[in-house]
């Protein structure tokens, strides 16, 4: 079976993990955590980066930092993972879902303004498949209405919008290091990216259970105590050590994934020309990271049959999100602004093909051949 995903592994991880295990500090904010923070702050040019146990908790921290209160509204696409919504619902917010653009599956920026009310607190663009939302428009809307922008760039590490790394354009951004992402910190992991200096001090306190412990270790206070709301948002240093091994090879991983993406795109182009499938669209002002290769077929019935055909040929392909607004909890905690013109229809056409660091060109050829076989016989 050609799997849908294999967690990335470069060979550097084991050395760093063993080094961390043998050190005197394997809890959070040890040697490798600091090395990762320095790497990201240099790479992204952000005010502060903070590793978290997962991306969900980075989003939860963001919701606390912008002081989400019961009754506040947060605008986001319905086509996203549940964590994007849950982080704000946990603080009492109502989610306002906006339809997607069919070309990128990102939130339609032209529909955001009509979703704004006097209760709106933030906009959460989700960069689907590591392809940027139209951030200039989103930031202009946010600035005009005095709203926060939290970038859900879970899939977007190494992607850019007009030469700016995803996650660094809004007030706050987040990355995911789950094993299905381009980079992992041992299966789970996340990053909080702070772009507005005003959030830095409080973010460190929230992350350390609401204490000023970080300031104490820097010698800024003579003792630490409970000073604010918070929780335990630190990953172990062993997790950070695993991630650091991948950061050392970040460019190599990125180049490899992009090569696989381009290979799929080229080899499936004939089917696209024949209108059998639709291939991903990359806007000119975006550089993506090869996180995902998907194609769209004519309808959900064709998708189901193609997935089964691939499975019978030992290829694991999957569909993606069920739109949140159509779920049970989505109705309880949110509402759809405007019409669902594309979110449901386009999501039911989408199939994700195997994509991972080290995917063999022969495997891609085999996958493409089996897709071609399906359309020749269907």
Closest CA to 290 of 272, 264, 315: 264
Helix (H, G, I), strand (E, B) or coil at 149: strand
Convert the pLDDT of each residue in 158-205 to its tens digit. Answer: 999 999 999 999 999 999 999 999 999 999 999 999 999 999 999 999
Q: How far apart are CA 104 and CA 130, in angstroms?
A: 10
Convert the pLDDT of each residue in 357-372 to its tens digit. Answer: 999 999 999 999 999 9
Catalytic residue among 31, 94, 181, 370: 181
Stated as kind and residue range, the H or E segment containing 250 is helix 250-267
- Max Cα–Cα distance, the chain, nearest Å: 74
pLDDT number for residue 220: 79
Q: Which of 34-43, 79-88, 219-228, 243-252 has the lowest mean pLDDT?
A: 219-228
The neighbouring-strand residues paired with 74 are: 95, 122
Average pLDDT over residues 201-228: 88
Over its C-alpha atoms, the chain yields an Rg (Å, rounded) of 21
Q: How far apart are CA 351 and CA 217, in angstroms?
A: 49
Average pLDDT over residues 133-145: 98
Asked if 47 and 195 touch (Cβ cutoff 8 Å), the reply is yes
Structure tokens at 333: 């905690």
Task: Give percent above pLDDT 70 in the chain.
Answer: 100
Closest CA to 36 of 247, 200, 309: 247
* DSSP codes joined into one string, 281-311: ---TTEE------EEE-SSHHHHHHHHHHHH
373: how many CB neighbours lie within 10 A of its CB?
A: 13
Domains of the chain: 13-247 (3.40.640.10), 250-377 (3.90.1150.10)
The neighbouring-strand residues paired with 336 are: 97
Task: Give percent above pLDDT 90 in the chain.
Answer: 96
Distance of CA 98 to the CA centre of its chain: 18
Q: How far apart are CA 332 and CA 247, in angstroms?
A: 40
Asked if 225 and 211 touch (Cβ cutoff 8 Å), the reply is yes
Q: How far apart are CA 360 and CA 5, in angstroms?
A: 13
pLDDT number for residue 218: 77
Closest CA to 139 of 159, 125, 158: 125
pLDDT number for residue 253: 98
| DSSP class of 323 | P
Residue 221 has pLDDT above 80, yes or no: no
pLDDT number for residue 76: 98
Helix (H, G, I), strand (E, B) or coil at 20: helix
Asked if 125 and 285 touch (Cβ cutoff 8 Å), the reply is no
Structure tokens at 223: 């003792």
The neighbouring-strand residues paired with 152 are: 126, 174
pLDDT tier at 214 (50, 70, 90 boundaries)?
A: confident
Q: Is 21 exposed, middle or buried (0-12, 13-18, 19+ CB in 10 A)?
A: exposed
pLDDT number for residue 104: 98
The neighbouring-strand residues paired with 52 are: 190
Closest CA to 30 of 244, 292, 228: 244
Q: Catalytic site residue 181?
A: yes
Closest CA to 306 of 344, 276, 272: 276
| DSSP class of 106 | S
Q: Is 114 exposed, middle or buried (0-12, 13-18, 19+ CB in 10 A)?
A: exposed
Convert the pLDDT of each residue in 24-62 to its tens digit. Answer: 999 999 999 999 999 999 999 999 999 999 999 999 999
How much is the mean pLDDT over the chain? 97
């Amino acid at each position: 079976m050609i799997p849908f995903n294999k967690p990335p592994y470069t060979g550097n991880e084991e050395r760093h993990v063993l080094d961390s295990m043998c050190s005197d500090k394997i809890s959070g904010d040890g040697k490798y955590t600091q090395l990762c923070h320095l790497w990201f702050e240099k790479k992204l040019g952000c005010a502060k980066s903070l590793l978290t146990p997962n991306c969900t908790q980075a989003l939860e921290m963001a919701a606390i930092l912008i002081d989400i209160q019961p009754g506040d509204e947060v605008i986001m696409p319905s086509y996203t993972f549940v964590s994007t919504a849950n982080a704000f619902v946990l603080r009492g917010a109502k989610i306002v879902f906006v339809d997607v653009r069919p070309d990128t599956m990102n939130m339609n920026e032209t529909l955001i303004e009509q979703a704004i009310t006097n209760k709106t607190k933030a906009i959460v663009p989700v960069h689907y498949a590591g392809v940027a939302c139209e951030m200039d428009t989103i930031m202009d809307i946010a600035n005009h209405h005095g709203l926060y922008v939290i970038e859900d760039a879970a899939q977007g590490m190494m992607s850019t919008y007009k030469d700016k790394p995803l996650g660094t354009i809004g007030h706050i951004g987040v990355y995911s290091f789950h094993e299905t992402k381009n980079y992992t910190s041992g299966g789970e992991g996340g990053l909080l990216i702070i772009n507005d200096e005003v959030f830095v001090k409080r973010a460190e306190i929230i992350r350390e259970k609401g204490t000023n412990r970080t300031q104490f270790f820097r010698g800024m206070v003579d003792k630490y105590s409970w000073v604010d709301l918070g929780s335990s948002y630190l990953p172990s240093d062993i997790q950070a050590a695993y991630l650091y091994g991948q950061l050392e090879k970040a460019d190599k991983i990125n180049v490899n994934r992009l090569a696989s993406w381009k290979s799929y795109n080229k080899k499936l182009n004939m089917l696209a020309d024949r209108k059998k499938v639709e291939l991903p669209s990359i806007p000119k002002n975006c550089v993506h990271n090869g996180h995902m290769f998907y194609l769209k077929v004519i309808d959900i019935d064709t998708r189901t049959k193609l997935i089964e055909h691939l499975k019978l040929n030992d290829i694991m392909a999957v569909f993606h999100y069920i739109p949140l607004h159509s779920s049970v909890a989505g109705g309880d905690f949110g509402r759809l602004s405007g019409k669902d013109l594309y979110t449901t229809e386009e999501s039911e056409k989408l199939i994700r093909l195997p994509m991972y660091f080290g995917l063999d060109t022969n495997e891609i050829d085999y996958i493409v051949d089996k897709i071609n076989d399906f359309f020749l016989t269907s």
